[in-house]
Amino acid sequence: MPRPSPDRHARHRRIRGPRPTDEPRPTNEPRPTDEPRPTNEPRAPVTNDSDSQDDMTRERARSERRDVDLERGELLAGGAARGGPRALRRAAKPLGHWSSRPRILITNDDGIESRGLLALKQALDPIGETTVVAPDTNQSAVGHQKTLMRPLRVRERTLTDGAIAYSVDGSPTDAVSLAFLGYFGHGFDLVASGINYGANLGDDITYSGTVSAAMEAVINGCPAFAISQEYYEHPDFSLAAAAASIVTRNILEHGLSPGQLINVNVPAVSIEDCEGIAVTRLGKRVYQDQLIRRLDPRGIPYFWIGGPPPSGLAVEGTDFHAVVNRWIAVTPIQLDLTARRLLKRMRDWRWDLSADSITAVPAAHEIAGAAAEPLPDAGRPATPTEIEETREATGS
Ligand code: MN
C-alpha cells in the first residue's frame, strides 16, 4: 500500500501548524465510521467565537479545532482519511450492518431556499442523519470556486419542514469546506449535492457548482454524489428523490475509491414515464452561447452571455443520450484528469533543456515554400460571433 512520502507529510504539517501534542499522528488510519456513537443527534456547531474576539484569535481557534472530531476525539475526515488508500471503500457495508446511522451532508449550488435542496434532504432523511449547509444565494456555474480573500458568514436557517440548516455567503465548495474543516465538530460518511435545477451533463461538470461541491467532498476523503434534474416548468422532484435514495444506498453499501464521485442526471418525466437507471459515461455538450451587447443607461456598453440552452451529441452510452431517452443517467467521475493516451504520446516528444532544443521559430515568410495563408482562426476578429443590440438601448 502506498503511503504518503515524508515530504508530503512535512508539507501538510507546515501548512496546518504544529500538532497540539507530541503523539505520533495516525495519518494513514481510516476513520472508523462504524464505531458506535454516543448519540445520533448532530452536534451543535462550534459557536464559541464571539464577535468581540479579534480576527487573529478567531483564526487560531479555528485552526486548532479543525483537526479533531470534538465528539469522538478522532481526526476529522480531512485529516485522517486523506492518503489512506481505499479508506472510502472500507467503511462501506450493507445498510443493516451500520451500527449507527450514516451522517450525510446535504448541499447544493442553487442556494439554501431551493426546493431541490429540501427534496434531497427529505429523500435521505430515512437513511441517515442529514445536515444541510448551502450557499445563501444561487451559485450556479461558479465551478469549484473557493473563497479565500474575504471572511465567510454562516447563518442558521429554518427549512420549510422545520429542520435547522446553515447558509454560507460563499460558494458550494465553501459550504463543503466549512463542514470538513470542523464547523460541525464531526465528519460525514457521505455528501449529497443537489437536486440541481437543470441537468449537468458532459462538459457541464466543468462549470457546475453542484458537481464541484461533490468534488470538494472527495478531496476531503468523503464519498459524494451530485444530482441534477432537467428543467421542469413546475418542478416535481419525486423521481429525482427516488434516484437520490437509490444512489445513496449503493454508495454506502459499496463505497467509492478515493478520487471518485457519482454524477446523477434525472429526466423531466414522471416515475411512470421513466425507463430506468442507466450507468453511463460523460457525453459531449454543444453550447449555443451568444454574447449579447447592450448599452447601460449612461451609454456605456455591457456584455451578457446568453443564448439558447445547450444541446448535446446523442451518442449511445453517454449521459446525454440516456437523459434524452428518459433514463436516469448515473455517471462515475474521477478527479484524476490526466490524459493517459496523451501522456504516453508525449513521452516521444522532445523535452531536453539543451540550448539547441530552445530555438526561435522562423517567421512564415522565411520558410521557403511555406504557405502564405494564415492559420484558420488568425484572421477572425476578436469580436463576438453574435451581437444583438437593442434599438431601445442605442436610443435610435
Ligand atoms: Mn444550479
Q: What's the mean pLDDT in 244-258? A: 96
Q: Which residues surround ligand 1, an ion (CB under 5 A)?
A: 109-110, 140, 196
Query: In 40-189, which ranges are E strands?
Result: 103-107, 129-135, 154-158, 164-168
Q: Report the range of poorest mean pLDDT among 56-70, 178-192, 324-338, 341-355.
A: 56-70
Is there a cis peptide before residue 251, judged by omega within 30 degrees of 0? no
Q: Report the residue count for the chain.
A: 396
Q: What pLDDT does 263 receive?
A: 98
Q: Report the range of poorest mean pLDDT among 193-207, 297-311, 352-366.
A: 352-366
Q: What pLDDT does 214 receive?
A: 98
Q: Which three cell numbers, joined as nine digits, stand for 348?
A: 516521444
Residue 280 alpha carbon to ligand 1 centre in Å: 21
Pairing of strands 311-312, 285-286: antiparallel
* CA–CA distances in Å: residue 337 to residues 206, 333, 351: 11, 10, 22
Q: What pLDDT does 357 receive?
A: 72
> Which range is most confident: 32-36, 93-97, 334-338?
334-338
Q: What pLDDT does 77 receive?
A: 36
Residue 44 alpha carbon to ligand 1 centre in Å: 28
Q: Is the predicted pLDDT of residue 135 greater than 90, yes or no?
A: yes
Residue 275 alpha carbon to ligand 1 centre in Å: 25
Can you tell me the distance from the alpha carbon of 193 to that of 222, in angstroms, rounded to the nearest whole number? 13
125 and 102 Cβ atoms separated by less than 8 Å: no
Residue 34 alpha carbon to ligand 1 centre in Å: 33
189 and 128 Cβ atoms separated by less than 8 Å: yes
Q: Which residues is 330 bridged to in the sheet?
A: 264, 279
Q: Which of 193, 182, 173 is nearest to 106 (CA)?
A: 193
Residue bearing the bigger pLDDT, 231 or 109: 109
Summarised one tens digit per residue, pLDDT across range 379-392 is: 444 444 333 433 33
Residue 181 alpha carbon to ligand 1 centre in Å: 24
Q: Which residues is 135 bridged to in the sheet?
A: 168
Residue 153 alpha carbon to ligand 1 centre in Å: 21
Computed over every residue of the chain, the mean pLDDT equals 79
The percent of residues in the chain predicted with pLDDT above 90, rounded, is 61
Q: What's the mean pLDDT in 310-339? A: 97
| Burial status of residue 307 (CB atoms within 10 A of its CB: 0-12, 13-18, 19 or more) | middle
Q: Is the predicted pLDDT of residue 85 greater than 50, yes or no?
A: no
Residue 107 alpha carbon to ligand 1 centre in Å: 11
258 and 290 Cβ atoms separated by less than 8 Å: no
Can you tell me the distance from the alpha carbon of 28 to that of 50, in angstroms, rounded to the nearest whole number? 35
Summarised one tens digit per residue, pLDDT across range 260-290 is: 999 999 999 999 999 999 999 999 999 999 9
Residue 207 alpha carbon to ligand 1 centre in Å: 10
CA dihedral (72, 117, 92, 5) positive or negative: negative
What is the CB neighbour count within 10 angstroms for residue 143? 18
Residue 210 alpha carbon to ligand 1 centre in Å: 6
* CA–CA distances in Å: residue 190 to residues 49, 77, 95, 286: 28, 11, 13, 32
Residue 102 alpha carbon to ligand 1 centre in Å: 26
Residue 260: its H or E element: strand 260-266
Q: Which residues is 362 bridged to in the sheet?
A: none
| CATH for 64-287+313-335 (3.40.80.10, 3.10.129.10, 1.10.390.10, 3.40.1210.10) | 3.40.1210.10
Q: What is the pTM of this model?
A: 0.71
Q: What single-letter amino acid sits at 288?
A: Q
Can you tell me the distance from the alpha carbon of 278 to that of 328, in angstroms, rounded to the nearest whole number? 6
Q: What pLDDT does 93 receive?
A: 84
Q: Which residues is 107 bridged to in the sheet?
A: 193
Q: Which residue in this structure is represented by grid cell 507530541?
A: 22
